[in-house]
Structure 1
């Protein structure tokens, strides 16, 4: 099985750092390092951490009218932003189900870079290629580029130390020559003020051949601020504290944007996008369920698949994401709760045969620096 998994261009670095590797979206990726999930999580909340998220997809939509084509297929409205900005958006199917959630980097009217999730990248590319008009090309670069995420309050200092630009506004990106990051001649680095942690930070898109040098430079530059390499375990606890959904758990083809709390990522006034008619119906009729946060009132730690009940005998849903919050020192989770349940209701979660009480809340569970300028 392990031999069939794709490997990041930083795989040897992870092994040298003693990473515990795990399968994720068809890739062998670091789950945690010797420091452990809690210390990695805390480093991002209080200082800075660096993640290898090269498993994320990369696809370029190019040609005359490429931006218009993306806007006519994906859910969000590119007219809300401008070239040089990134946008969270959704690829929906005909029923309004979520094929994937992704980031669109709008370079110019003829070039839009899409960054979907690892497991869904091929399907997003397939659907866009099938719909593309003559002259618009969708090229899959999944295996050509690495993505490094530098996250935390000290992320600006680390990037500045390696000569990369910082301080641009949230969800905007700039392209910098790789030479400024110590990589010599060659392709540049796309530096975007985005992330999946809730902290101020940047995601760096760089050609595979330059990824190792950039990773090494970032770790060396961040020593002064206690930088640590972080794995997918900390990425999961950080994003759950923010209430960010994970495709395949909290959102899927069986989930629509309205019930997932992602209506803000839908361009409701647009004339066309995949699944438009279906999600308009859901909006008009109201969703049957909503993705809600659950905060432990006791010591229980929820895990995906655990049953959520209103009373001992009235099941409501299953936990979609659940973990121990290192910041709050409590259990937190997400679940698709029937819309008829009061927003501040208390519910039970069956944790190994014991019913633990949780409060329904609206995420995020913690306050962070993500949008500070």
Structure 2
């Protein structure tokens, strides 16, 4: 099964549903995906997730499967987090690094069994993650790219459990665990995770069943949301986005994602470089910045302490929840900046004051 391709961009199986809802589209990792919908846009969609429930089509996310004797042990020897700390039926956030400690991608690993791991990487990086794993796989272990075999629907918000429960889907399982359940005669994976900071679920749905499942979710009272709101929600949580807060040039130590590294594991890609960086201390660290006045920061804006340049923003937006501009920024550790300090962001030629804070900017309710 393959996605429709238009002007070199893939489309999700829900594209026509998005068109019917008046979606504004944008390119994400080689896919044409909805940015926002008519009738309210990003602010309304953001509020629906914080206050009720929203559904995102995130079918552009990758899907890959690793199978065979020792598949889980193999994945654990490659990716940063310790897969041995979870049991089948659990999911884990992890990183694929190169030998320099740079981040090829961040992804979710679903552990089905010792011989079966399902991976959800980012859209633009799926082929590279699959290539690296396939090249390293021992005899008897297969790595297959199933990017366009499944859709992914993220249902997020305080009412998500109640509304999905109306469809007979399981919702009582723990955070970062998943269950397989039938709907419309097909099996879905329902995982208690998300990218918004709210209680929520991500549904992995066979490609051909995506429209039926989407229609049922919307009919249950869930607000369709585009990737614009997804970005404001994740920024309020301080969650990293690959290509902005994580990259081949930004290590998990610098991005404060060391919690997703199994430091006691004997081997994983990039281990030596990351251990060395952790021991000597990173040259820069990811921090949150909250404007004290008006302004909307964006990525790649210079940050100053007085007249001294000390870093650069990686992401920035207006927080619909706090009604203030917020940003994530890589700040030089040599500058000695601490939480609570005041710095300035150069927003289109105007220095705007911001306070250094430790994300999240908004209290999460994900657990």
The TM-score bracket by the shorter chain reads over 0.9
Q: How does 1:83-232 map to 2 (within 5 A)?
A: 83-178=88-183, 183=184, 185-186=185-186, 188-222=187-221, 227-232=222-227
Q: CA deviation at 1:368?
A: 2.1
Deviations 1:181-236 (A, max 9, x none): xx2x34x10000000000000000010000000000000012xxxx3100010000
Deviations 1:119-178 (A, max 9, x none): 001100000001000000001000110000000000001111111011110000000012
Q: CA deviation at 1:2?
A: 5.1
Q: How does 1:1-373 map to 2 (within 5 A)?
A: 3-34=7-38, 35-178=40-183, 183=184, 185-186=185-186, 188-222=187-221, 227-311=222-306, 313-340=307-334, 341-344=336-339, 345-371=341-367
Q: Distance in 2 between matches of 1:19 and 1:287?
A: 42
Aligned length: 360
Q: CA deviation at 1:339?
A: 1.5
Instruction: Give me the TM-score of the superposition, normalised by structure 1.
Output: 0.95
Q: Distance in 2 between matches of 1:319 and 1:249?
A: 9
Instruction: Give me the TM-score of the superposition, normalised by structure 2.
Output: 0.97
SS in structure 2 at match of 1:177: strand
Q: CA deviation at 1:43?
A: 0.3
Q: Distance in 1 between matches of 2:301 and 2:77?
A: 39
SS in structure 2 at match of 1:216: helix
Structure 2: give runs of 5+ residues left out of the alignment: none
RMSD value, Cα = 1.0
Runs of 4+ aligned residues of structure 1 deviating over 3 Å after TM superposition are none
Deviations 1:68-109 (A, max 9, x none): 001000000012111100000000001000000000000111
